[in-house]
Structure 1
């Protein structure tokens, strides 16, 4: 009898140890940005299309700007100040690449906006060791919004984000934003980090969320200070009052399209849903740029 109890205890201990090891690996692979992520994102390159938009963007004379956030991290942004009364603040996605949103920046510049294109913490020139799937990044965005309002107290601001950047933007909506923020545009954001990681675990490893996501969330709380359910765009959207345009591609296999329907449903304020037929993750605008940017134009003309 004692032998069986000992064997069971050893099995339980080994299983617990394995799960905690998996949790630490999960954090290191997915959230700790000091490790190379090219096996997830592919090599960081700019294609010819992006290079074309980059050349246009450079003609506006963009400037590097920096801000020290409430946690003491020095964050980086690229600013084009056309001395307009309207600002567009852009947030890239997970492992955002240089020039990822230059076409969007060009669009807003041509519409007469000033543009602030940000590098999220632990990306590019911004300090930080790990990402929080929009949880802490949304606080950083609030700091940047205050930076803009301090420059121009009477300005109007539109927030735009893609993928994790969309999650960051959506989570900022539930915070005490200044009245200068008039509208939001989110493209292919997820409902929560918990939902996204659960989906990816099932899709890539054919495993249910329990117990891996539960343990990984616990380890993330210990190492990163947040739980996966804390990164909750859905809850933030539900508490927001800011008009929001929701965009998603119908062939998004990274953040599944069904998530946008839930986000849209939980928004109880002026809202619009744009589905891009055949659009893939974070690049749906390339599938149908005419529809994409005409919808953006109509949206900002209505609310900003």
Structure 2
């Protein structure tokens, strides 16, 4: 591939590690990537590379308590602080370029919180995410088994999503066994226009993006007005 991932040492708060993957096009839009609770930026690299391949320059942040970031106990507050620090780093990196926010799973909740609190994002994408943590736990017979410290937090996205002032893309797999598709639909319904919902038939929690690349590209053009140049040759 033509892009390469490198450390962005100044991307976030002290103790927070991030990876930077620029696109070939120096005028490419910027994207902040926010991962889920079971992953870090290293484990998320295939998804990061696909977004880079779409034409974004991507900054992926490991919240404190994840990956190579400091081993402190993560919380909703610290994760949102780290996301905001990454967002501000992108603004300093290229203040003249549009910035977008992407969140997968739990990262979708962090993305919505960030987008609801800033006014300078050009668009938001959330994939395989939910209304609030309590709804995920109650929707499953044994709750969300791969828990962890962040699962004890509220992440009340359904009451924040309407505050987003930019176009919103919600993507969800119809066969997601961890976060029921109904929660993604409810989150979408609570959002304001302009918005788009992509339901990927047969996709699970982890392969939604690979099954929906053409739908992603169409939505990026129709919802965000983007005509992106691929990063890979």
Match of 1:228 in 2: 153
Query: Is 1:76 matched with 2:17?
Result: yes
The alpha-carbon deviation at position 286 of structure 1 amounts to 2.9
- State the alpha-carbon separation in 1 of the partners of residues 4 and 210 from structure 2: 25
Structure 2: tracts of 5 or more residues without a match: 144-148, 229-233
Which has more radius of gyration?
Answer: 1
TM-score of the superposed pair, with normalisation by structure 2: 0.82
CA drift at 1:252 = 0.9
Query: What's the CA shift for 1:282?
Result: 3.1
Q: Aligned-residue CA RMSD in angstroms?
A: 2.7
How far off its partner does 1:84 sit? 2.2
Q: Deviations over 1:233-264 (max 9, x none)?
A: 11110222121101111111101111112111
| Corresponding pairs, count | 220
Please list, as runs of the form range in 1=range in 2, the aligned pairs for 1:1-304 lying within 5 A after superposition.
56=1, 59-67=2-10, 73-82=14-23, 83-97=26-40, 98-111=42-55, 113-132=56-75, 134-175=76-117, 177-179=118-120, 181-200=121-140, 203-204=141-142, 228-229=153-154, 231-302=155-226
Change (3 A) 1:135 1:234: farther
Unaligned segments of structure 1, at least 5 residues: 1-55, 206-219
Distance 1:170 1:154 in 2: 23
Residues 60-80 of structure 1: per-residue CA shift (max 9 Å, x gap): 23210124756xx41111112
Matched with 1:30 is none
Q: Larger relative CO (CA 8 A, sep 6+): 1 or 2? A: 2
Change (3 A) 1:204 1:110: closer
Alignment partner of 1:258: what SS?
A: helix
The structure that is helix-richer by fraction is 1
- Per-residue CA distance 1:172-218 (angstroms, 9 max, x = gap): 1221x242x10000001111122223334xx116xxxxxxxxxxxxx
TM-score normalized with structure 1 length: 0.64
